[in-house]
Amino acid sequence: MFGTRSRLLVVGAASLALASACTTPPPPGAPPPDLTEFHDQQVAFEPCGPFATTSTDEKLFANERLDCARVQVPLDYDDPDGARGEVALLRIPASGEKIGSLFVNPGGPGGSGMNFVATMASANPLWTDGLLGQRFDIIGFDPRGVGASSPQVDCFTDADNDDRAAGFDNALDPHGAASEEHAQEIMQRCAESAGGEDALTSIGTREVARDVDVLREVLGDEKLTFLGYSYGTELGGVYAEAFPEKVRALVLDGAVSPGQTPDEMTIGQAVAAQEGFGRLAEECAKAPDCPLGTDPALATERFQALTRPLVDQPAPTADGRGLGYNDAITAAATGMRAEALLPQLIDGLTELAEGRGDILLALRDQMTGRGPDGRYNGLMEDFLAIRCMDWPRRSPAEQTELNRRLREAAPFMDDGRPVEQSHHACEAWPKPPSRTGPWLAADVAGLPPTLTVSTTGDIATPYQAGVELADALGGGLLTVEGEQHGVSLVGSNACIDDTVLAYLVDLRTPPEGARCVL
């Protein structure tokens, strides 16, 4: 078990801690690696059952409409003759006249594309018999480090991830460690699970983008058609900058800002979270029994009064785990990610005011990838491993100062304790980050039209980030008025889905100023 702050991610995949840096180019004049052997692989699709890594996947992957395969990739693209990894992928075969493959990344980093696409296959007819499913083989892949792909990262036991005492002072920044020794222990456990330090440091966005290009070649697509949510917008942008001539269409929903540093992005998301809390307080205050009170101006204080006691005394839950402070903060962040979840969050706060934490604990589990059987899906470790190779590393002073600034930006998440010195969880990573500076050039040349979708009330990836990404890519922008993180092709809005489908199928971008309302 770890002590205080050992939990690596309090707010998970498509949530609040997203930012990065620029792809490191090869040396001038260096020839590209010869990847012919990888491009010429013959893919053997088979039933998906053996690819399941969680109890949830076991049920989803039993769908006979799905098939799965593995594709080999170089562990190190600078040494393609060396060790290899495998990318696992899941396919919904096109049910009509096929245009090609649609590659999907659900966010994170660390989200399972296989799980996401299998979920959509069972829940949304658009992905099977509708226009999307008719015209594309829909491909959900697990990036290296994630799910059924290898190398895999599994730094912590399920008991570690359940430990309510093992958390951070805030739920916005997952990159804190209690000490230099703790950071070293984190790295060692992650490296052992991945198969060594070289395997661990091969897990990063630059390598995943190159894996996507191998998948494109292997599946026979001349150009890439890609749908990315949240962190998936960054992955799509990194691919576009590296392979602009290989892009057919990019839909990027819930954008990561291309020009901000990781610290700027994290603070910006904290500000957006506090704004989202304000909207929650206003909605809740319409009812006389609102657990945050009927005066939104006092809601932060009411929330703190409900949650701060959990630091020392978790609220009881039916399963015996209890609801700790970080659990409650994670639950609040989860509930504010979609307007449809607000009633559940308010019910959870009402229950907490009555002395129990079951509803909020269920929201926390949803965000952190805990299944009904108590098994975690690895999202937390995957997030850490990818970002340790993507982001600059903070000094202890920088990490501690960021924690202080986050409390100022999102006071509803302030637990009332002094800000203690913290270390960066990536401090002991055995290789430097693979990227420096802004993660995307100010202007990406040679791209066809792209489509960015940005929602005005998104607390995880603020609206302005989408404006900036669309501008950097020189592409179209669809503004969505509402409060939700990830809105494209999820069945929530015909205006959004029709606009996105027109682009994916016919490559028609919306007119300037296009808007939809949730």
Encoded tokens for 366: 């949803």
Beta bridge partners of 104: 140, 227
Determine, yes or no, domain membership for 31: no
- CA distance linking residue 344 with residue 349, whole number of Å: 9
> Per the domain annotation, does 26 fall within a domain?
no
3-class DSSP string for 54-65: CHHHHHHCCCCC
Q: Which residue has the tokens 């559940």?
A: 344
Please report where in the chains the tokens 């040679």 appear, as a residue. 446
DSSP code, position 205: H
Which residues are catalytically annotated? 230, 458, 485
Considering the domain boundaries, does residue 32 fall inside one? no
Q: What is the pLDDT of residues 91-113, one digit of tens each?
A: 999 999 999 999 999 998 999 99
Contact 128, 92 (CB under 8 A): yes
pLDDT one-digit tens code per residue, 28-61:
456 778 999 999 999 999 999 999 999 999 999 9
One-letter identity of residue 193: S
Helix intervals (H) in 290-393: 299-307, 325-335, 342-353, 358-368, 379-390
Total domain count, the chain: 1
Residue 283's contacts (CB-CB under 8 Å, 6 or more residues apart) are: 342, 346
| Enclosing domain of residue 400 | 1-20+38-518
pLDDT given for residue 4 in this prediction = 26
Q: Is residue 451 part of a domain?
A: yes
CATH number of the domain encompassing residue 107: 3.40.50.1820
**Residues contacting 486, CB < 8 A, separation 6+:** 14, 106, 107, 229, 230, 253, 254
Residue 81, burial from CB neighbour count under 10 angstroms (0-12, 13-18, 19+): exposed
Q: Is residue 336 part of a domain?
A: yes
Distance between CA atoms of residues 263 and 270, nearest Å: 11
The answer to whether residue 29 sits within a structural domain is no
Give CA–CA dist 241/327, Å, rounded. 38
Which token pair is 307?
Answer: 């949650």
CA 194 to CA 145: how far, in whole Å? 8
pTM of the predicted model as reported, rounded to 2 decimal places:
0.88
Q: Which residues contact 181 (CB under 8 A, 6 or more apart)?
A: none
Cβ proximity of 440 and 241 under 8 Å: yes
pLDDT at 261: 86
Q: Which stretches in the chain have pLDDT values below 50?
A: 1-28, 165-172
Is-contact 478 514, C-beta < 8 A? yes
Tokens of 517: 């309302």
Structure tokens at 350: 């009402």
Is 211 domain-assigned? yes
Which residue is associated with the tokens 């704004």? 275
Q: What is the DSSP letter of 290?
A: -
SS3 145: strand
